[in-house]
Amino acid sequence: MNFVDLVRIHAKAGDGGRGLVSFRREKYVPKGGPDGGDGGRGGNVVAVADPHLNTLLHFRYKRHFTAGNGAPGGTNRRSGKSGRDVVLRVPPGTVIRDASSGEVLAELLRPNERVIVLHGGRGGRGNAAFATPTNRTPRTAENGQPGEEGWLELELKLLADVGLVGFPNVGKSTLIATISAAKPKIADYPFTTLVPNLGMVRLDDERSFVVADIPGLIEGASQGKGLGTDFLRHIERTRVLVFLLDPHLMPPLEAYAILERELSNHNPALSEKRRIVCISKADTLDDSQRQALAKLDFPRYGAPLLISSATRENIATLLEQMWAALDAERIETGDAPAPPASTLVEDENLT
């Protein structure tokens, strides 16, 4: 399955039905008076967060959505039937914007959350509504109001508790495959991960959280290089960031500074997220390298944690640190602990 996280669609809410000009015509009711009913309301365009979806791919095949129009008013003061709503089913974490102005119309974070994106037009009044003591036979009725319409931009930002950040080929996919049942593509060349992967980590029966493997960043990603900002957006919704640094690629402090700069350039708020700094591929290091790396002092975070997905060295320690960081962040923000499995299907691989 392809992963699609940004689409443009056209949507139109239904028009309101017209009011009716009508007079009572019963045989034994002389001068019955006006009885034209009001038109029905046009259908709305409604967005719903569907927890069973994890991509916007289905909008690639259908881009135009139209709600039903309201029915005209009837005789005997009967109102017309309201138009049927059109429902846009999106994954939790989707932001909906007006494509022309950039205004955020809706942001759906919780499963089954519903938001009216475009409102249907109000139905027109029938001539019964215009009757007055001085105008007992009005021959006027209103047309229904047009429904709202326009081009919409749908952007998916993954909902994950922990985001794995690092350069290409530093071991993020291997780590998420080790700590969860996710099965990302793993190979010995850069950019093997072209789409985000999600994995559900279960520490015990009462503790679980979602980890996102974000495709590798490179210097200049915030300006669009490499995979650029296409996937930087997914880091925005995570609570905790885990930096994976490969000491064979470049000096860890230098790599960390580059990653920090790219995150800050993309969104300054990312610099405030809690972090865990890890040195990956510890099984390939000799004793002297281990001692040198253990003495590194990262700004605000101290010495890094040496881990190996191949031998599971310090993996249990890392998971406990992830949980502790999430717990501290929830206490600080006043959020209740997330329920197990969050909004995602267990160990969901978005590839």
pLDDT at 296 over 60: yes
pLDDT at 26 over 70: yes
Buried b / exposed e along 53-62 (16+ C-beta atoms within 10 A):
bbbbeebeee
pLDDT at 193 over 50: no
- Comparing CA positions, the residue from 12, 4, 160, 162 lying closest to residue 92 is 160
DSSP 59: G
143 HSE (CA, 13 A, CB side):
4
Predicted model pTM = 0.64
User: Distances from the Cα of 105 to the Cαs of 5, 14, 95, 248, 271, in angstroms?
Assistant: 17, 18, 8, 46, 27
Top mean pLDDT of 145-159, 172-186, 333-347 is at: 145-159
Contact predicate 320/327, CB 8 Å: no
User: Sheet containing 104-108: which strands, arranged edge to edge?
Assistant: 64-66, 6-12, 149-156, 94-98, 104-108
Q: CA-CA distance, 138 to 133, in Å (whole number)?
A: 11
Query: Please, which pLDDT band fits residue 207 given cuts at 50, 70 and 90?
Result: confident
- CATH topology for the 1-156 domain: Spo0b-associated Gtp-binding Protein; Chain: A, (2.70.210)
- Indicate the burial class of 188 (C-beta count within 10 angstroms; 0-12, 13-18, 19 or more): exposed
pLDDT at 295 over 60: yes
Q: What is the pLDDT of residues 313-348, one digit of tens each?
A: 999 999 999 999 998 888 877 665 444 333 333 333
Quickly list H helices, 158-212: 172-179
Query: Please, which pLDDT band fits residue 233 given cuts at 50, 70 and 90?
Result: low
Contact predicate 107/64, CB 8 Å: no
Domain range annotation of the chain: 1-156, 162-333
Q: What is the pLDDT of residues 62-111, one digit of tens each?
A: 999 999 999 999 999 999 999 999 999 998 889 999 999 999 999 998 88
Confirm or reject CATH 3.40.50.2300 for domain 162-333, answering yes or no.
no
pLDDT at 299 over 60: yes
19-23, 55-59, 113-117, 122-126: which range is least confident on average?
A: 55-59
Average pLDDT, stretch 170-197? 66
pLDDT at 186 over 60: no
CA dihedral 259, 261, 267, 272 (to 10 degrees): 80
Q: Helix, strand, coil proportions of the chain in percent (round to 5)?
A: 20, 25, 55
Average pLDDT, stretch 116-120? 97
- Comparing CA positions, the residue from 76, 167, 53 lying closest to residue 126 is 76
